A = this chain, B = another copy of it.
Amino acid sequence: MSSTVAVNGEVRRWEDLPLHDFAQGFFFGAGFFTTFRIDDGVPLFLARHLKRLAASVASFPETVRAPPSELLHPDAVREVLRRCLESDSALGPRYTGIGKLTASDGRLLLTFRAPSPDAERLQREGRAVDTVEAGAYRHGEPMPNHKGLSYFRQYSLMQRLPVLANDLGHACELPTANLFVLLDGALVTPPLDAPCLPGIIREVLLDAGHLDDLPVVERALPLARLSEARACVFTNSAVLATGVSSLLGRALPDSLSLAARIREHVLAMASREG
Contact = CB atoms under 8 A, between A and B. Distances in A.
Contact of A25 (B15, B26, B135, B159): B26
A265 B71 CA distance: 53
Nearest to A102: B27
Contacts of A62: 156, 159
Contacts of A26: 19, 22, 25-26, 149
Q: Chain A interface residue count: which class?
A: 35 or more
Contacts of A60: 156
A205 to B, nearest CB: 26
A138 B150 contact: no
Interface string A21-36: 1110111111001000
A143 interface: yes
A126 interface: no
Interface of A: 1, 14-23, 25-30, 33, 60, 62-63, 102, 135, 137-138, 140-141, 143, 148-153, 155-156, 158-159, 167
